[in-house]
């Protein structure tokens, strides 16, 4: 038909909507970074994220002196009041969206909403205050959400082995326990890769 040739009209033919060789979009996986107050969640998200992380930090004030337990973390000056958010691309096929949870008990009600759609979690442990993350471990165990434990060595120090940490937290052998540094991108990335490996192994057994 006259005039049906796109070149004759000075326009180009539209691309095929589903070209066979077109790259597919990567899978997106929601991961929670959880743990007690001041264990390094915001630091970890910031260290590993490939984008500028979203933070909802507010300064600690005198009003919270009798509410927030600062034993062992007296240098802490701000706290997350909602969430931290970051993103890391592990491969062309896989992108992780990271959601850091608030640590203080008065904000724990938000965890249920943040957990919606999460496939797994990293529970950060401060070896100086391991009891501060007991609630996070219980949270994921009760909901059947797979998790790994990252033992954050403050000042680069790891006085205990993963086996000693496992015994202290009464964790089963199937739960990975990894020594890490929340300030170091490579260290945080290794923890996340271990979690993804666990999720893949778990799905293959179901």
pLDDT digits (tens, 9 = 90+) for 4-35: 554 444 444 445 454 555 556 779 999 999 99
- DSSP-H helix ranges across the chain: 41-48, 111-115, 134-143, 162-169, 185-205
Could you report the per-residue pLDDT of 147-178, keeping only the tens digit for each? 999 999 877 789 999 999 999 999 999 999 99
**CA–CA gap between residue 41 and residue 34 (Å, rounded):** 7
Joined together, the tokens standing for residue 1 give: 């038909």
Structure tokens belonging to residue 30: 């929601």
The reported pTM is 0.76
**Largest Cα–Cα separation, the chain:** 83
Residue with the bigger pLDDT between 53 and 139: it is: 139
How much is the CA Rg of the chain, to the nearest whole Å? 22
CA dist., res. 128 & res. 131, Å (int): 9
């Amino acid at each position: 038909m006259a005039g049906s040739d796109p070149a004759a009209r000075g326009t180009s033919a539209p691309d095929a909507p589903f070209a066979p060789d077109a790259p597919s979009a990567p899978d997106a996986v929601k991961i929670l970074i959880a743990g007690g107050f001041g264990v390094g969640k915001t630091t970890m998200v910031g260290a590993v994220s490939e984008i500028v992380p979203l933070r909802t930090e507010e300064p600690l004030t005198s009003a919270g002196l009798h509410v927030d337990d600062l034993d062992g973390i007296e240098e802490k000056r701000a706290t997350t009041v909602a969430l931290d958010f970051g993103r890391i691309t592990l491969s062309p096929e896989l992108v992780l969206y990271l959601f850091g949870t608030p640590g203080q008990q008065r904000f724990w009600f938000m965890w249920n909403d943040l957990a919606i759609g999460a496939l797994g979690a990293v529970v950060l442990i401060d070896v100086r205050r391991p009891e501060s993350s007991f609630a996070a471990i219980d949270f994921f165990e009760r909901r059947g959400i797979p998790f790994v434990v990252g033992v954050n060595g403050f000042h680069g120090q790891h006085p205990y082995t993963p086996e000693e940490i496992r015994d202290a937290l009464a964790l089963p052998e199937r739960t990975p326990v990894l020594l890490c540094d929340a300030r170091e991108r490579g260290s945080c990335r290794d923890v996340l890769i271990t979690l993804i490996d666990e999720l893949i192994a778990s799905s293959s057994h179901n």
